Amino acid sequence: MTMKNTADMKATCGGELAKLRQENDDLRHTLRWLAVTFGVAAKEDPAMLAELERAVGTARAGV
């Protein structure tokens, strides 16, 4: 493998890594937004919280 090929591969991998990091940040932001939104809604309607927990397959003790 030549130095140019190695540099090209590093640039390509670096670009892909940057895209994945951005997607990860976007997903974290979305998950935070969902947690806050559904947390507020669940305080107003406990049945909604139960339905959401069933929908995502989770259960919380004490709720």
The pLDDT assigned to 60 comes to 46
Domain presence at residue 62: no
Rounded Cα distance between 49 and 44, Å, is 9
Q: Say which range, 4-13, 17-26, 36-45, has the weakest mean pLDDT.
A: 36-45
- The residue range of the domain holding 32 is 3-56
Split into its structural domains, the chain has a count of 1
Could you give the 3-state DSSP secondary structure of residue 51?
A: helix
Q: Against a cut of 0.85, is the pTM above it?
A: no
Length of the chain: 63
The pLDDT assigned to 22 comes to 92
Between helices 46-56 and 3-44, what is the axis angle to 10°?
A: 150
Domain presence at residue 63: no
The pLDDT assigned to 1 comes to 56
